[in-house]
Amino acid sequence: KKTFECVQGPRTRSHLCRLGKGSALVCFASSVAPEGVASSRPTDRSQRSGSDPIRIVAADRGMAAELTQVVNWAYRGKEGVETWTGEKHLLSGVRITEKAMTSLLEDQDPAHRIVFAALCEQANDAKPCVVGSIQAELMDDGSAEFGLFSVDPNHQSQGIGRNLITSAEDYARDHWKSKEGVMYLLEMRTKLYGWYERMGYRKTGKKVPFPQGLEGDESVGTPLVPLMFDELRKKL
């Protein structure tokens, strides 16, 4: 099975969003926009993984294989790499299949749901590789729900996750006028709560059970123990 790894390259630096190929906005930080829509302001946050710059972009179908790999690494573990975000002790199977990811990307509508990818630039003009993801979805109450949040274990604790969430929040606030962000975190993931609190998210007290209809679904995994989600919200 083919895997994709990001190699380290020379230092470069950029602070501004720019229009890339196909009029898709790309940024060396957290301000993002849908295809053909430029950000109204530059960002003051540069982002690197090791010595390579990171761009946050709207994901497309061509990224399906890499996105699937990174999501599964983040949620189920990556061989030879210790990660603090894994759930393999709670669920078996993969977090998402490539088929499900492809469908998710094909069905995107920037007016209601969009997936962002963190791309790591590589040396010698090699194709950037995917090192993170997040999905934003507009809910009926006007809030924005964020999910499918992942960072390649080799690139964790480098600020990529923070920029992914900030990018999704900025998009929801600027394009959907959302006033609140919503996330759901497995209640057993105690190590992660401190990180989300530092990002401004707070428990609402609402508990949501793991969807019964999805147990055994190859695209989400099978619970090994009874699972509940805590709802977390943040004012945007």
Query: Which pLDDT tens digit goes with each residue over 115-131?
Result: 999 998 877 777 889 99
pLDDT given at position 92: 53
Model confidence band, residue 76 (pLDDT cutoffs 50, 70, 90): confident
For the chain, the C-alpha Rg in angstroms (whole number) is: 17
Instruction: Look at 6-15, 139-148, 200-209 and tell me which has the smallest mean pLDDT.
Output: 6-15
For 103, phi then psi, to 5°, come to -60, -40
Contact 25, 39 (CB under 8 A): yes
Q: Is the overall model pTM greater than 0.85, yes or no?
A: no
Instruction: Look at 15-19, 82-86, 216-220 and tell me which has the smallest mean pLDDT.
Output: 15-19
> Is pLDDT above 50 for 154?
yes
Q: Which residues make Cβ contacts (< 8 Å) with residue 213, sequence separation at least 6?
A: none
Q: Compute the average pLDDT of residues 180-196.
A: 85
CA proximity to 132, closest of 93, 100, 85: 85
pLDDT given at position 77: 63
Question: How many Cβ atoms are within 10 Å of 20's Cβ, its own excluded?
Answer: 13
pLDDT given at position 11: 30
Contact 64, 48 (CB under 8 A): no
Model confidence band, residue 191 (pLDDT cutoffs 50, 70, 90): confident
> Is pLDDT above 80 for 210?
no
**Per mean pLDDT, which of 7-16, 21-30, 47-56, 104-113 is the most reliable?**
104-113
pLDDT given at position 221: 62
pLDDT given at position 173: 97
> Is pLDDT above 90 for 179?
yes
Owner of token pair 């989400």: 220
Instruction: Look at 125-129, 146-150, 194-198 and tell me which has the smallest mean pLDDT.
Output: 125-129
> Is pLDDT above 70 for 15?
no
The residue among 11 and 111 whose pLDDT is bigger is: 111
Averaged pLDDT score across all residues of the chain: 74
Report d(CA 80, CA 86) in Å as an integer: 13
